[in-house]
Structure formats: C-alpha cells, structure tokens
Structure 1
Amino acid sequence: MGGKESPIINKEDCTKEDRIPGEAKEILKSLASKWEDVHDPNVLQVIPLKGAMTNEVFKIKWPSKTHEFSRKVLVRVYGEGVEVFFNREDEIRTFEFMSRQGQGPRLIARFSNGRIEEFIHSRTLSASDLRDPHISPLIAAKLKEFHGLELPGSKKAFLWDRLRNWLKTAKTICTLEESEAFHLDAIEEEISLLEKELSGDQLIGFCHNDLQYGNIMMDEGTTSITIIDYEYASYNPVAFDIANHFCEMAADYHTNTPHIMDYSKYPGLEERKKFLYVYLSSSGNLLL
C-alpha cells in the first residue's frame, strides 16, 4: 500500500516500442540496468524523431526513481535499400572514428541493423537557419575543423567514382525511355568533363558531402555546432563540400516538394564571401 506506483505507459507508447528491434531492446534493458537512478529498465518511452531520410530514429527515455524522465539515448534503425547510395560498412567505420575523436554523438552499442548512440541535447537546424547571419559563421568554422580530420586510409577523392556508380545504377533501373528523358548518357559525359576540369590543383580534405540543415545541430546554450550523419562522408575536394552546402541553402525538405530547390534562396556573392572568410580564418588541421 505504501509503495510508489509504477509509471504508466500508454498503448501508443507500446506500439512505438514494437518498432524497436528485439535485439536493440535487450541491449537497451541491459544498459538501463546499470543506471541506479532508473526506476525499471523494462519501462521505456519510445519517441520517433522526424527528419531522418535514410533511417528510422527514436529517442528512448527511462523514468527515474523520482518519476522524471532523465536517461536518454538515441536508437537508429538502418533503412532498407540505401546501399544503392552509400556503403553502410564505410559509414559505420566513419561513425566509430568520429565517436572516438569526440565529433558527433558517442557510439554506445551496435545491433544487426542499427546502433544506439548518445542523445545530443541540441536542436536540429531548420532550412532558414543556414542563412542566419549568426549561425552561418558557426557552421563555416565547424566545417573547417571537419575538413581537417585525418581518417585512416586512402586520401583519394571519392566524388567521381561515386557519381559514376550512381549513374550506373540509374541506368540499370531506368527504362530506355526514362534514360533518354533524364539524359543519362549526357550526364556521363558531363562527369568526365567536370573531372577533367576540376581534378587539377584541388585541396583534398575529409568532407561531409551532405551538409544540409538536418545534419547540423546547435547547442542553444553554448552555440556549439555538431555535424551528424556521415553516410556520404569521404575524402573529396573541400571546395565541393562548401559549394554543396551553399546549394543546400536552396533546399527545404519539409515541404510538399522536397526534391525541388528554390534557387532564389541561393546565397549571393557577399554572403558566400563572408562564409569563406570565416572558414579561411578559422583554426583547424587543414593546411591551406
């Protein structure tokens, strides 16, 4: 009679919990059992997070003994079919390296089709944030730091091989009519032309290659920037990574037409100069 009641988890939470693989649940329960402030390792709240494009992502919370949700982790369940776009094993190795370097969330555990990560107490940026005059310089400085990371292995630019691999896959999927409509043969010629024109004296660094607003987080208290999600990360010309980030300023993936860029939002010359000035002025391991 005098004992405290267990926290109530509603049916909707139970349904969400069913979306977590059994293997991951066992790891989560084992993890929570080591925390003295967790009321019951078997009682967890599953909150789906929006914005991820290639994975299902969930915030996991446990009630503490004071009946407040305190412990949090993030569960990432890998999406199906994404191997067309990137190599999952390469992405996992990159994530583990970044975790050891103190970049991004800490890796807690892995399971067969996903992983458990540290939950970062920061907010994900919005489309408009990329052009915010106070936030954009923070991104520029962080990107310079990112480009200076030294991952083991080849430092060869991966851009051209990746484009050709994507094009090869597109040709196997598309019908002849679709190939003609999308001018796939012309794209192959353009890749070769660009490689010839741009493969000269290019500074190569470790690039994110997908620096859209959903992959950037900011701590509201310290204004520190964290770059996340390294599926496409590889060595490339750093100019490509910067240019791609400028293109992402024209994107809004939370509209009815997320695949259509609004190039009226592309940064003008002065805005690009300001970004580059901060980038070039920032400290980092990258030698310019």
Structure 2
Amino acid sequence: MEEEMSALEKRSESGLSWNYLPLTLERDSLSQTFTTQILPLVRPAWRDCHVQTKVFTDGITNVLLGFYVSREGSRDQEKEDIVLLRMNGEGTEVFLDRRAEILVMLSLHNANLVPPLYLELANGLCYGYIPGRPFTMDDMQDDVMMQRTARAVARLHAVPVPDTLRSPQPYVWNKIRQFLNTVTGSFTDLHKTQKFQEIFGSLAVVSEEVDALQMELRQSESSLVFCHNDLLCGNLIFDSSTGNVSMVDYEYGGPNLAAYDIGNHFCEFAGLSEPVDYERYPSEAVQYKWIRYYLQECAIIRGQGTDSVTDDSIRSLYLEVNQYALAAHLFWAVWSLLQAELSTIDFDYIEYAGVRFAEYKRRKDLFLNLHLNFNLH
C-alpha cells in the first residue's frame, strides 16, 4: 500500500484539486488492477472482503466496471457502495478533452450533483456511483419523468463554469470544428469510403452546412451555461427511492447554449440503436410542457416565483431549442464520421452519420422557419 500511496500525485487547476495515479489500464486485467493497486487507495476497508464486479458498459467508446462488496442481508445490490473504474476508449483523446472532463466532474461534485472523483489514471478514471437505473425510452416520454429531467437540467445549467473552461464561443461550434479538422472522409476500409461518398458526396458538403447553420444561428438569445451536451437515454439515471433524476458521463460537458443541451436531448427521444425513430421527437405540446418545467426551476433557482415564466419566454426558448436540434444532428453526424476512422467498436458509424444528416436536412427548413408560424397568428 505504501508504494501505491507514494505514486500518487496531486494535481490542481482553477482552484480544483484531485489525485492522479500514473497507471495505465489494460482491458484484460481491469479487475485485478483494481483489487491490487486501486482498491487500497479508495476503499482500504475492503481489502479483506470478497470484492465483486459488475460490467456497466463495454461500449461505444469506453469500458466501465463497478466494484462492490455485498452486505449481509442486502437484497438490492444497486444500493451498495459501488466504485466505478473507467478505461477510456482507444483514440478518444483525439476528440475528447479529458482534463476538461475532470474539471467538470469536480465542479459538479462541489455543487452536489455528482459523486466524488477518486483518481485520475493514465487512461481512465475511478469515481463514485449514482444509484438508480438508466432511463428507458418510455421514461423519455413520461410526463412525471420529463418534469424531473427538466428540473435536473435546470440545476445543472445553474452551476458556475470554471474559469479554465470559459470560452466566447459555444461548445458545439468549437467542437464540431475540431471534428471537421480531424475527419478526412477517406477510410482505410474502401467500403466505408464508398458509403461515405454515397451518403455525403464529400466532406465539403458537410462543412458548408455547418458554416451556413452557424451563420443562421449567430444571434442566439440562449445563455451560455454549464451543459451536459449528451443527454441521451443511458446518461439519465432515475433513483426510485428518492425520485431524483441524475446525469452521468460528462465526457462532452462544458459551456454551451442551454438551447443546444435541450434540443440535443429532444433528438435523443428517437433512440441511439436500431430502430432510430424520429417520429418520437417530442411534439410542440410536449416540448412546451418540458420547457415550462425547465424555466420554472430556473426561476426558483434565481429566487423568483414560477409565475415569472410567461408564454412568450416558453415560446422563445422553444423556437431556439428546435433550431439547435439541427446543430445537434450535425454535431453527431460529424462525430460519427470521426469515430468511423478511429473507433475499433463494431458499430456502423457511417450509417449513423447518414441517419443524423438525413434528419437534419428533413427538418432544416421547418425548424428554421418556426417563427413564421407564430408571426401569422
């Protein structure tokens, strides 16, 4: 144990500090590594216990394992003290800012929104567990769950952004430019290249759409706040014992427009895996209800009454949310093209990029001109 302790380094930035262990994780030995080298640092009381393992993801980008000790008489292992160990996906450092992710996690922990970060590792993290279960697709449409989600998102958006992460430009445009500067459109797999050309024609087509949309949305009224930026079904956790909805996986977290975070969440009503169904994109009535919940919670956080939320404020955010849903489609389309070049995961990223780009084109004129419908009334 003394050797592990001596290897620990203290890191700090923006008034935040954390522990770093210069240890590289290997997929085939994660459990052994946790038991022998990490456990003594984060749960020394478990050393003489039988530590069990639960696989949470072996997934699209990362491997995530949970470690716990079953308590005598306990029937619900989900309520146990669980320590999570994540090995970052290979090559993800090309498009993910891991230092920014750590600052996000620490800031949110200070705001009592996420569990503690125990250790940063050379290619991963060790951190606390949020009890509960991931959302189902039905949860996304359920009125009570939408209310809980909207309020949780409002509380997230109220967290101060660390100085190091502040930027004059929203995350969505900064990140999508980074992706575009990395993607080539030419793949080592000839089939991927052919499929890309059939769907997109060229990377210039995508880049032109990004330029045009950014110009169209240049006068956003939405505020720049602390956003999750990836509010899909699996990143929302419901704890039935408390009724709380929490968010996990802050790899894409950072300062962005509130309208983007909400619009991206609405896109995720369609699901990620087959079948992706954009007919599940929430209707105007459902969006109004969600946005009202959100703005009411924002008002409470500011110390105002919920009666300060007007129909005009709801309509204004509704219009912008749908415009930024278009930006979300472009973001994940370009992200998928990058993944198609870098990822070793067995997933058809080119196909998914095409799905998002097609939905962007299908909704583009409608969403950019929603305000005309109101002006006619």
Into which bin does the TM-score normalised by the smaller protein fall?
Answer: 0.7 to 0.9
Contact 1:39–1:63 at 8 Å: present in 2 too?
no
Instruction: Tell me, in whole angstroms, the C-alpha distance in 2 between the residues paired with 1:146 and 1:71.
Output: 24
1:166 corresponds to:
179
Aligned to 1:22: 33
2:52 corresponds to: 45
d(CA) in 2 for partners of 1:77 and 1:113?
Answer: 6
> After superposition, where does 1:82-101 map in structure 2 within 5 Å?
82-101=92-111
Cα distance in 2 for residues equivalent to 1:241 and 1:286: 23
Paired letter, 1:136:
M
Among 254, 258, 261, the alignment partner of 2:276 is 261
One-letter amino acid of the structure 2 residue matched with residue 116 of structure 1? C
Q: Check the 8 A contact 2:107/2:162 in 1, yes or no.
A: no
Distance change in 2, residues 1:190/1:225 (3 Å):
same
**Hey, what's the Cα distance between the residues in 2 that align with 1:62 and 1:286?**
42
- How far the C-alpha of 1:252 sits from its partner, in A, is 4.0
Query: Per-residue deviation at 1:103?
Result: 1.4
Structure-to-structure mapping, 1:23-172, within 5 angstroms: 25-33=36-44, 35=45, 38=46, 40-41=48-49, 43-50=50-57, 52-63=59-70, 66=72, 71-153=81-163, 154-156=166-168, 157-171=170-184
| Percentage of matched positions with identical amino acids | 27
**Aligned equivalent of 1:186:** 205
Secondary structure at 2:156 match in 1: helix
Letter in 1 for 2:51: L
Contact 1:24–1:111 under 8 Å retained in 2: no
Aligned-partner Cα distance in 1 for 2:35–2:109? 20
Quick one: which of 278, 281, 284 aligns to 2:301? Answer: 284
C-alpha change, 1:284 and 1:155, in structure 2 (3 Å) is farther
C-alpha deviation, 1:141, in angstroms: 1.0
1:249 has 2:257 as partner: no
CA distance in 1, matches of 2:197, 2:294: 41
Partner of 1:212: 232
TM-score between both structures, scaled by the size of structure 2: 0.63
Whether the 8 Å CA contact 2:40–2:47 is kept in 1: the answer is no
- Residues 84 and 166, structure 1, Cα contact 8 Å, conserved in 2: no
* Cα shift readout 1:241-273 (whole Å, capped 9, x = no counterpart): 1111100001143xxx3xx63111111111111
Residue identity matched to 1:20: S
Find the counterpart in structure 1 of residue 252 from structure 2.
232
The TM-score with structure 1 as length reference comes to 0.81
TM-superposed CA distance for 1:60, in Å, is 0.5
Residues 1:279 and 1:46: Cα distance change in structure 2 (over 3 Å): same
Cα distance between partner residues in 1 of 2:260 and 2:62: 25
Q: What is the letter of the counterpart of residue 22 of structure 1?
A: T
Residue 221 (1) aligns with residue 233 (2): no
What is the root-mean-square deviation of aligned Cα atoms in Å?
Answer: 2.8
Confirm or deny: 8 A CA contact 1:17 1:46 kept in the other structure: no
CA apart distance, 1:20:
3.2
Tell me, in whole angstroms, the C-alpha distance in 1 between the residues paired with 2:196 and 2:94. Answer: 18
| 3-state SS, counterpart of residue 110 of structure 1 | strand
Structure 1 residues without counterparts, runs of 5 or longer = 1-15
Task: Choose which of 200, 209, 214 in structure 2 pairs with 1:195.
Answer: 214
Mark the runs of 5 or more structure 2 residues left unpaired by the alignment. 1-26, 305-312, 314-377
Assess, with a 3 A threshold, how the Cα gap between structure 1 residues 264 and 172 changes in structure 2: closer, same or farther: closer
| Cα 1:172/1:89, change in 2 over 3 Å | farther
- The alignment partner of 1:242 has SS state of helix
CA distance in 1, matches of 2:155, 2:196: 40
Q: Deviations over 1:85-127 (max 9, x none)?
A: 3212211221222222211222122322222211222111122
With 48-57 and 236-245 compared, the bigger mean Cα shift is at 48-57
For residue 178 of structure 1, report the CA deviation from its aligned partner.
Answer: 5.7
